[in-house]
Each structure stands twice: as structure tokens, then as C-alpha cells.
Amino acid sequence: MRIAVVAPSVYMSEKTYPERIFAPRTVALQLVNGLVEKGHDVTLFSAPDIETKAKLVGGSVDLLKGNLLRDKYLDREILMEYRLQSGIECRAFYTLDLMGKALQENRKQKFDIIQTDDPLFHPLTELSNSAVCFIFHDPLPRRKSLDFWFLNRYKQHNFISISMAQRRGEPTLNFVGNVYHGLDPNSYQATFEKGSYLAYFGRLLVQKGPDIAIKVANETGDYLKIASDKTHFNTEFVKNKVLPYVDGDKIVHAGFFVTSMEKNNFLNKAKALMLPILWDEPFGLVMIEAMACGTPVIAYNRGSVSEIVRDGVTGFIIDPDNEDRPGKGTWVIKKQGIEGLVEAIKRIEEIDRRACRKHVEENFSVSKMVEGYEKIYNQILNKSL
């Protein structure tokens, strides 16, 4: 197949934004490289400095950093408002320019299918002359939001979910299949010995629960190492709920790991990955990264957690509260909230770290992900004939 993958986020450029956590970058590169290895002709429309096995059509370097100002601001005192507004428009132009390049290239060679994770491509679908499918990385939006209006406007387009949990709610989109994210297990070195600390890996947001991880570590007496970027260090939440408890001894901010080796060393030496999320995350890539390292996951029952973690086998799933959610009350640990997380840590040695690694190899490999997308691409193409 001739396949185009349009991944136009500026954060796809790891060289421009080296300390930015952006899981979609990892997923997109794993997919396109895997498709190329299967013999497909793949063109990736994305950051100009990406290393990929696919043919690369890069976005504009001039727009990538978002530093250009609108002409009307050049003769004025430069206010922060002008920089912010121009930065937003820079990114929009960068995205639209890449999409335009994809359409131009499509006229030359006509792709069998175009896949993108950017909603701005929806209005351009009818201009593409090729089958188009969409993925996205967030839960379905709430009814009163702009995101809801836009997705609902194009709900008949082809959507691929990244977990079944992502399909809960409205609008009712035309989901043509589901494919879980995958990784190359050979890129992760597993350690089957007991770890020495609890690990938190992710952005410092209320929804991610870093403050909960800190409370639990303080209650159990465990060391907690927090790996994150500094994007949210100036928010009131981080300044009041996270940083005051980072003492450099029991609670440590370990920084942000750029290379896969650094991430691997951080995860495989942990006794467990803490994921006390407070939102319905469609797919937490760090869960399969941890399990690939042999590290069990302790997570709240939100979003896709129950689809990724095998309760009592590769970690423990905890109900965060009394709200009725799929699987509620069926978990090995019956306590809820912080009490449940504390009990999970005390019982973490019941988990066989080899089972964690095996679970990823069997269910969340790149090859399995690629096969899933191939199957759906063929379904879409056969339906359009």
C-alpha cells in the first residue's frame, strides 16, 4: 500500500522541543517504521528533523519554533499577548502547510490511504481523493466544548480508536476499528529483580495525580522518583501540591529523560510505576513501557487502564472512588483511593515481573500494532471500492 501519515504537531520535533513529553511522537514513529518494514510505501509528513525509515516531507523550519510575529505587530511595542497570538497562528500555519504538502503529493502519486491525528484535516478530506482515517489522543469531548462541535460535524469520517474506553460518551463517531499502541520490546531491557523505589513518569498535571503518588509514598515510607518535564512548574498546582514535598531525599525530581536508555534505566529499577490518574486517559503509553521493563503498574481504574494492565498479574488496579465504572469492585484489592494504592504497594512482590514483560510481548508489540492498522486500512479500502 501507498500510505501517508500526517503528523503535523510541532512537538514531533524532538530537537526543537527536547524536554517536552509527547507520546504521540513515539507512537507515530513506531507505526511508520513498522509499516515500512512490512513492505509498504510510506510517506511521513511531519517535523523536518525526524529520523525515520519512511520518506519524509518536513514542515517549515521557519514556523517550527513559533517565533515569527504578525506584520501588524512589528511596528508596535511587543506585548506578551502579541507573541502568544502569533505563536498560535505560527503553529496553525505550520500544520496547514504540511497538510497542503500532503494533498500536493497525493496528486502526484495518489496514496491508497491517508492517516492523521490532526482534526484540521477533516475539512480537507473531500479534497484528498484518497481514503482518510483519523486517530486522536484524548477522550471524547464534552457536549458544550468546541471539540465536540467539530468532531460531531465530521462524525461520519473514519475513526480508529486507541482503546475501547476512548469510545465511551458522545459524539457517536464512525469507529471502524481499534488498535492499541505498541512498542519494540527489544528496545527495553527488563529487570526481574525487586526495584528500590516507586516511579512516577509524566506531566505534572492534576489529572495525572503526582500529588497522590507523593501522599502514598509518604504513607508507605517508600522512595518516590518523579520523572517529568518542567512545563508546568509555574502552575499553582505544582507550586502548592508537588514541589514543596520534593525534598531531594525521599521524594526526588529525577528530571526528564530524553533517550530511551535513560527512560529504560529509570523504569526497570522501580518496584512499581504509580499511575493514580484522575481522568479517562485513552492510552497511557508509559504503562506498557514500564511493563516491558518488567515493572508492574499500580493505577486507578480510569480510562483504558483495565484494558492494558492485568489486575493481579502485571500490577494492581484500584477503584479511585465509589463512582460506577466498568470493572468496579472486581479487582484483587477491594480498598479504594489512597488506601487501595497503599495496599497495592505492600503486595507488589506478589507480581511476577516476568509476567509483565510477557504481557507486553504478546499484546502490545509494534508488529501487533502494525498488523492492526493494516487490517483496518484494508477494510476501509474494500468498503470504498
Q: Give the Cα separation of 346 and 333 in Å (integer).
A: 11
Q: Which of 124, 123, 113, 128 is nearest to 177 (CA)?
A: 113
State the Rg of the chain over Cα: 22
Please give the pLDDT value at position 329.
87
Distance of CA 234 to the CA centre of its chain: 23
Task: Give how far Cα 217 sits from Cα of 200, 220, 343, Å.
Answer: 11, 5, 12
Q: What is the DSSP secondary-structure string of 113-139?
A: EEEES-GGGGGGHHHH-SEEEE--SSP
Residues 6+ apart with CB under 8 A from 341: 212, 216, 274, 276, 298, 300, 318
pLDDT, one tens digit per residue, over 132-163 is 999 999 999 999 999 999 999 999 999 999 99
What 3-state class would DSSP assign to 200? strand
Q: Which three cell numbers stand for residue 225?
A: 522518583
Please give the pLDDT value at position 76.
64
Please give the pLDDT value at position 75.
65
Ranges assigned E (strand) in 258-341: 270-275, 297-300, 315-318
Question: Low-confidence residues of the chain, pLDDT below 70?
Answer: 72-80, 82, 258-259, 384-385
Q: Which of 83, 103, 79, 102 is nearest to 91 (CA)?
A: 83
